[in-house]
Amino acid sequence: MAKFFNSLFGRVVIALVAGIVIGAVFPHFAQSLRPLGDGFLKLIKMVIGPIVFCVVVSGMAHAGDLKKVGRVGLKAVVYFEAMTTVALVIGAVLAYATRPGAGMNVNLHSLDAASLATYTEHAKNLKDTAAFLLKIIPDTAIDAFATGDVLQILVFSVLFGAALSLLGDKAQRVNNLIDEMAQIFFKVMSFIIKLAPLGVLGAIAFTTGTYGVASLKQLGLLVIVFYASCIVFVAVVLGIVMRLTGFSIFKLIRYLREELSIVLGTASSDAVLPQVMRKLEWMGVKDSTVGLVIPTGYSFNLDGFSIYLTLAVIFIAQATNTPLSMHDLIVVVLVSLITSKGAHGIPGSAIVILAATLSAIPAIPVLGLVLILPVDWFVGIARALTNLIGNCVATVVVAVWENDIDKARARRVLNLDPALRFQPAEEIAAGEAAPAGQHAPAH
């Protein structure tokens, strides 16, 4: 028991429970705790850009073979699209099977369109495919880091890493400098992550105090169906994928339980991006593969978000008694394959992307999004958890595909071998056990 209380996981779980209790008993006080959660997320986002840059550049520079780097990226994108399609189909199938919106008989004229104004404004920016693709390219290298856009940072990092790799010994001093900077940023991250319990306490207390458990009653079935969909996707689909690679999805989840508990409390997978990258390297995955797949997956492999897209669209159609043809359903899936790629980094991303998707399908009223606003935060928890697990599985799959993983070490780590136990305060700092540009395990 003492071990549980002294661990980061234990402290986060305690903070989670305390936050719920405070929110339920002292709702007004709980709402004042929001800055704790917001502040923690801002601290994390403060160092995400530099860490992604250092990890990607260092990984590419040490990889040597740029053709291999390109091959890893291509395989990752192919896998992302396959899993996104499966997730979209699962959401649609379960929506039709359970019919969560049936019987609500919502009159569109009774809905308040004003609450959607901000989201629909953001959605307009996603309709233009060319503009979206151009947005991936930062106006300046500094701008990418200033805005914290992971995809833009990734584009610049890949170009910088490729140039560094081709220059070889001529750029060795720069390469060494980036390795040392990575160690510094991971040390900063080790300081910030100790504040995770406070961040979780503030986020969950504010949400419980603001919305209360009663907010789930109106749309309870939608929430239940979505959580069930995510469980099915993780346990069955990702479980089969992991089994084909020779590993267990449940052991991977157990290994990542501290990171998942933080996501559970903050409803944001951004909060654990650096730690997850380091833990996958510690598990035996080559750093160059982790550095490419994880940041790319944060924009291109949103499994939980994809499930929610089709589920929410069909829910709105059912709730408003809007008939959907097979053609409409196919359009939903195809449009969602594109719009889901713009989700990361947008305020209220779920509602924004749903607005962009619905605007391409005239048969379904965009105004129906008002129905799901009250529970968006609650479903956001499962979205973030599923997205994170999906990206970790994607990294393992691509690593196995490319033979970039020490399978023997991975099995020992996932089996919680005491000799290879991950120490957050040390390894996440990245300086002692797994310096950037090197593999934590011996390949």
Closest CA to 443 of 284, 245, 278, 292: 284
Residue 310: φ, ψ to 5°:
-70, -35
More confident residue, 3 or 182: 182
d(CA 211, CA 23): 9
93 in any annotated domain: yes
The yes-or-no verdict on residue 439 having pLDDT over 70 is: no
**Dihedrals phi, psi of 139, to nearest 5 degrees:** -60, -40
In a domain, 190, yes or no: yes
365 vs 183: which has the higher pLDDT: 183
Mean pLDDT across the stretch 416-428? 68
Residue 441 lies in a domain: no
**pLDDT for residue 216:** 46
Mean pLDDT of the region 24-53: 83
Q: 436 lies in a domain?
A: no
pLDDT at 343: 55
Q: Rounded to an integer, what distance in angstroms lies between the CA atom of residue 400 and that of residue 154?
A: 23
Q: Which pTM does this prediction carry?
A: 0.71
Is residue 276 a contact partner of residue 52, using CB atoms and an 8 Å limit? no
pLDDT given at position 60: 74
Q: Output the pLDDT for position 338.
A: 66
Count up the domains in the chain and report the number.
Answer: 1
Report pLDDT digits (tens) over 372-394. 766 677 788 888 899 999 999 99
Task: In whole angstroms, give the CA distance from residue 121 to residue 115.
Answer: 12
Of 102-111, 241-250, 299-308, 321-330, give the lowest mean pLDDT range.
102-111
The CATH number that applies at residue 82 is 1.10.3860.10
Question: Could you tell me if residue 344 is inside a domain?
Answer: yes
Determine if residue 403 is left, alpha or beta; phi over 0 gives left, psi from -120 to 50 gives alpha, anything else beta: left
CB 52 within 8 A of CB 154: yes
291 assigned to some structural domain: yes
Distance of CA 92 to the CA centre of its chain: 21
pLDDT digits (tens, 9 = 90+) for 87-136: 999 998 998 888 887 877 766 655 555 544 544 554 555 555 566 567 77
Please tell me the predicted confidence (pLDDT) of residue 430. Answer: 42
State the residue range of the domain holding 36.
2-427
pLDDT band of residue 31 (cuts 50, 70, 90) is confident
Q: What gap in Å lies between CA 397 and CA 363, rounded to an integer?
A: 38
Confidence of residue 16 (pLDDT cuts 50, 70, 90): confident
d(CA 334, CA 402): 29
* CB contact at 8 A, 44 and 192: yes
Q: Percent of the chain, pLDDT > 90?
A: 18
Which amino acid belongs to residue 323?
P
What is the C-alpha to C-alpha distance for residues 296 and 156, in angstroms, rounded to an integer? 13
Q: Is residue 135 part of a domain?
A: yes
Looking at every residue in the chain, the average pLDDT score rounds to: 79
DSSP 224-246: HHHHHHHHHIIIIIIHHHHHHHT
Question: What are 193's two structure tokens?
Answer: 């992550």
**pLDDT for 347:** 44
Average pLDDT over residues 179-200: 83
How many angstroms separate the CA atoms of 69 and 67, rounded?
5
Residues 232-241 as b/e (b if ≥16 CB within 10 A, e otherwise) read bbbeebbbeb
Element (H, E) at 365: none
Q: Classify residue 440: in a domain, yes or no.
A: no
| Residue 212, φ and ψ in degrees, nearest 5 | 70, 165
Confidence of residue 428 (pLDDT cuts 50, 70, 90): very low
119 within 8 A of 355, measured Cβ to Cβ? yes
Q: Quote the radius of gyration of the chain (alpha carbons, Å).
A: 22
- Of the two residues 245 and 324, the one the predictor is more confident about is 245
405-417 per-position pLDDT tens digit: 999 999 999 998 8
